[in-house]
Amino acid sequence: MRFTDKSIIVTGAGSGIGRAAALLFAAEGGSVVCADRTEGADETARLIGEAGNKAVAIRVDAGLEEDVVRTVALACERFGGLDVMFANAGISGGMANIFDTDVALITEVLRVNLIGPYLAIKHAAPRIAERGQGAIVLTASVAGIRSGAGSPAYSASKAGVINLAQVSAQQLAGSNVRVNAICPGLTETGMTKPTFDYARGADKMDKLGRLNPLRRGAQPEELAKVALFLASDDASYVNGQAIAVDGGLSSSHPVTRQEYGKTAV
């Protein structure tokens, strides 16, 4: 029960990693504000309530400052303050290359994926600092570490999130507010659902995640558990870090892989 009496905001709580994290935070005693721009936020809050735990839903756009302000205010009013912000909301923006990406699209991806976490830090950190200590966790991506895991717009936005975690950790020195990021690899979420559904329908699940050593994609709970660790006192000396949770994908440069038990060709 690492989050007993803790007030927590999860953005993108309507599905995927956000929903999994919200459920886990609540199961460990946290009072959770489930924020999402879809009705999925209400469903997540309902699931938490049915389990006998505390949650409230709010429909917001994570990239709009007034919505972020409203979300932080709700946490403080309903649960007496704020201890944890999990800025998880994001969009993919498709897979177009640099030359085929419309400026309006990349602007929107940056607004949600990068300005959203910036706003979360700007407005959540002062409230968390008032509690004496706490944590902010951002969802970045392995696409933000190096090329090959996402479109130019998405990858650039997530690289910015990694740097934002580092810069904000430094600028919050002395506040006892830690800031870290998780960097998911291929994970089954609302964003990737079409890919997973196609693979299941075509009996090609063995193809998903085949480039990482674990040879599979992740489930949302596997990412959520790392987010909870970073948000908890178990990670009390972890700050300004970007943790890859990708089955080992980012541990290697492209190579001709040696198959387990076989000789490399």
Beta bridge partners of 245: 184
Locus of tokens 């919505």: 67
Among the options 154, 198, 237, 260, which is catalytic?
154
More confident residue, 173 or 257: 173
Strand 55-59 and strand 242-245: pairing? unpaired
pLDDT of residue 237: 98
pLDDT band at 10 (very low <50, low <70, confident <90, very high): very high
Which tokens belong to 110?
A: 């940056």
Domain boundaries, the chain: 7-187+219-245
Q: Where are the alpha helices (DSSP H) in 192-247?
A: 193-201, 220-231
**Does 260 qualify as catalytic in the annotation?**
no
Per residue in 225-263, pLDDT (tens digit) is 999 999 999 999 999 999 999 999 998 876 655 666 765
Domain spanning 7-187+219-245: CATH 3.40.50.720? yes
Residues present in the chain in total: 265
